[in-house]
Amino acid sequence: MRKTAILIATVLFTCPGLNAQVKSNRIPSNLKPEPFQADVHSQKTRNHNQVQKGESSSSTSFWSEDFANGIPSGWTQNGSTPTAVWEYRGPSTTPSNSTGSRGAFAQGTGPILSNSASNGFVIFDSDYLDNGGSATNMGNGNAPTPHVGRLMTDTIDLSGQTAVELAFTSYARQFFTNYFVCFSSDGGASWPDTIELFTEVAVNDGTPENLELSFNVSNYIGGSANAMIQFIFAGNKPGNTNGTGYYFWQLDDIELRSLPVNELRFTAIDGAPAQDVSFNSDPAYGKYGILNDDQIVPMVFDANIYNYGSATQTNVRLEVEVLDGNGTLLTTLVSPAAASLLMLDSLDFNTLTTNAWTPAGPDDYTLVYKITSDSLSASTTQVTDSVPFFVNENVYGLDWNQSDNFFGTTSAVGEMVAAGVRYSLENEDSDSSNSGLVFLDGVDVFLSLRCDSTADLEFQLFDTAGFQFNAGFPASANPIYTTTYSLSGVNLGQIVRFPFTTPDSIYDNGSQTWTPVERPVAVPTGTYFIVINFFPNATDGVIRIANSARFFQPGEASIFQTGDGDWFGGFLDSETFEAPFIRLVVADAPAYNISLGEADDKQFALYPNPTNGLGNIEFPAGGEYTIRVLDMVGLSHYKKTLRVNQKEKHSFDFSSFKPGIYLVQIEGEGLSKTVKLRIQ
């Protein structure tokens, strides 16, 4: 338990500083502003989003501003440069409140959808200030980036109001920007307390148009007779070689009101997300939102929360309800309880971690995170977050059936040339007992509408052994499998399956012929990288793949390579590259039409069966025979031709074979039979 004023998954800073915690092996982005274009991906709220609206059914409003009469005369601006200003959009202004950003790259994003948008709102239009609405005029607008826009209220009398909630409606689209709300309790002489917003919003992405935010600001301005609030668009965020700022922030319906009495909220603490999950008791294990049923492992859930309401909470717990595809409750996982939690006191995952749960098998599950206390039961708590989770017979993926943005060839310094996902295939195919094999049918990739429709994609399968970010794969590590596909227009804006196959042939005893077939790629159990190498062909063509930001992924769960050959696990201060929508398709063991003829095996004898690998074959008649030994997927392990006398025994030694079931084919002198041999 910690006594910190944590406000909705944010770290508090001295306005407007920033000390972001980042994962290792992350690279500064090289992204460029992009013209707004609605792409094909979901707009689901991420689980570690910064805000969840609190219900204040009996709250009293102390102060409010809906901008019906423009920016109030007592408010001030202090932009850097001075021309970097917020502006009012109302029914009678030009442009009016029907217009959002006027910038070259954000036109078409529209206005905020707040309750009182009809009487006006305010906007810091960074994109327009930089380029004046023309993409060829970048850096030549009225207030070029990097710039900072500061909008400050006049003083607000909150004397006697010690439990205070700030609420407002917001709409933002960001490139390289920080968004802050700062607080002063001494009439603007100092601004010691800050909330940072939208850290989870990906580069070139935005929030919903009607995002309602609320914060417990009691420790900042509660009881102050000279409270002030400052909204800062900090378009000078470091870390990008292609500029900062751009896009916008729109605000409306700002209110200070009384707090709810009983309310708990999820929050990020010290870089740990608001809710999390771990697999197989291994922090390096990928967080697979689509788990293959042959690779099922135990799961543990955790969360960080703080007491948002005014009343002390006792016996605070994390409860995670697991529902099946019909919505039936399967189990409830519960963390230990904390004795008490004062207002703005917080609990982290060290306390709020549940017992383990192992999925029973394929299903479309729902995981419902809930925070309860003696005052808030599972049915009354407002702190809930539902996360879909899937166990699938064939598909295996880091994404949680959710895409939050797209990354691609222009997404990194030196340009991204390849991306990959690590897959744990530690259990053999359940239909091939003792084979030690897993069968791969291909890869599913979610391609953006903006991909080069003439691009080539090269898929490679690597063992993870020896991989290092600073060196990549060992020089001796050749790909286990490689295949290349050329795109076409019909592939874009959807999930595309790229098959993995390898040629083989099977023997049909009836026709006594070998038939060519294509079968899935068979690999021994282990851990592998699926790597896609990008080859755009069109001029200025790009390759863009969907990404899920549902959960932070461990360092090697997802990787990308830049043009200089270095590998990285993501971007600094960004979730743009977290869980690429690159799904492995796991096949069942292929079935072959092989006539076993076991009822007639008296024509020759094979013993002992089962065997430790050593045994004999006794032939019914003399002559020339060919012996073949295949595994259950048709791979040949042994072939020999020999001449024998009648009733002669031939000794064999298959002790080097892996334990399992094999097919022993005997052909010759009018005999063509196959029997199963089990090697133990």
pLDDT in tens, 467-492: 999 889 998 889 999 999 999 999 99
pLDDT for res 593: 41
The reply to whether CATH 3.40.190.10 applies to domain 598-679 is no
- Could you give the percent of the chain with pLDDT greater than 70? 89
In order of 14, 217, 226, the CA distances from 187 in angstroms are 17, 16, 5
pLDDT in tens, 630-677: 877 678 889 999 888 887 888 889 988 888 878 888 888 777 777 778
Is the Cβ–Cβ distance between 465 and 512 less than 8 Å? no
CATH number of 275-393: 2.60.40.10
Work out the average pLDDT over 25-33: 80
Lowest mean pLDDT among 201-205, 512-516, 578-582: 512-516
Tokens 């409860």: give the residue.
319
Do 275-393 and 598-679 come out as alike in CATH topology?
yes
Beta bridge partners of residue 141, listed in sequence order: none
Work out the average pLDDT over 567-571: 92
Instruction: Select from 83, 85, 70 the least CA-distant residue to 149.
Output: 85
pLDDT for res 430: 87
Reported as a pLDDT band with limits 50, 70 and 90, residue 39 is low
Instruction: Name the percent of the chain in helix, strand, coil, to the closest 5.
Output: 5, 45, 50
Instruction: Copy the structure tokens of residue 147.
Output: 């710039």
pLDDT for res 241: 78
pLDDT for res 458: 98
Give the burial class of 540: count Cβ atoms within 10 A of its Cβ; 0-12 exposed, 13-18 middle, 19 or more buried.
Answer: exposed
Provide the residue ranges of all domains of the chain, joining segments of one domain with +.
58-259, 275-393, 401-587, 598-679
pLDDT for res 508: 57
pLDDT for res 73: 96
Lowest mean pLDDT among 110-119, 427-436, 452-461: 427-436
Instruction: Copy the structure tokens of residue 97.
Output: 């409140």
* CATH class entry, domain 401-587: mainly beta
pTM for the model stands at: 0.79
CATH number of 58-259: 2.60.120.200
Instruction: Select from 589, 612, 621 the least CA-distant residue to 523.
Output: 589
Beta carbons within 8 Å of 398's beta carbon, 6+ residues apart: 286, 287, 288, 289, 421, 548, 553, 557, 558, 579, 580, 582
